[in-house]
Amino acid sequence: MRKVSPIADVVMHPVRLRIIQQLGDGRRVTTSDLRNALPDVAQATLYRHVAALVDAEIIAVVDERRIRGAVERTFALGERMAHVDHDELRQMGDRELQQSFLTFLAHLGEDFDRASAGSGFREFLGFGQVRLHVGVDDLARIQAGLGELLAPYLAPPDESDATTDRRTVMLSTVLMPDPADQPTGR
């Protein structure tokens, strides 16, 4: 029986995060699509990271077809998706957790750099921080509510609708306890 790697061990690599990002919104992409979307990643490196994601069931092969003697694979997010759950977070050591978070921030910074080079960047940019006063059950309700609120915006706009003014934006979230609000021994 194959040992399943913790998701964090697999996805917390900048190239793998970028591959997963290409599969967001339920998209299906081929290896050719990935090469075009990630031109700065060497082909052999890209294939190695795709194979690691497939092996860990983060992404899945959903179609294969022969093209000029080669097999072209189409990928989608797999069963495990790309989410580190609370059990896996608890199993991480402090250094591993910090490295995972810094990798996430570095990826976010790379996205910011690429996006800021484009036109209309500032019209779709926003960031901030807000304090919420919650319990664990509250977080589940907030996640469910956000899922419901965001659902109409997850599908890409219909390409036949030339009047659409929609652009794709990335919503990145971080939840962490306020360092100034340390729990007391209740």
In the chain the domains, ranked by start, together with CATH numbers, are 7-121 (1.10.10.10)
The answer to whether the predicted template modeling score (pTM) of the entire model surpasses 0.75 is no
Strands 70-77 and 29-30, by their bridges, are antiparallel
13 φψ region: left (φ > 0), alpha (ψ -120 to 50), beta (else): beta
pLDDT tens per residue across span 46-103: 999 999 999 988 889 999 999 888 889 999 887 666 556 677 777 777 887 787 777 7
Is residue 150 over pLDDT 80?
A: yes
pLDDT for residue 83:
58
Distance between CA 133 and CA 119 in Å, rounded?
A: 38
Beta strands in the chain (DSSP E): 29-30, 59-67, 70-77
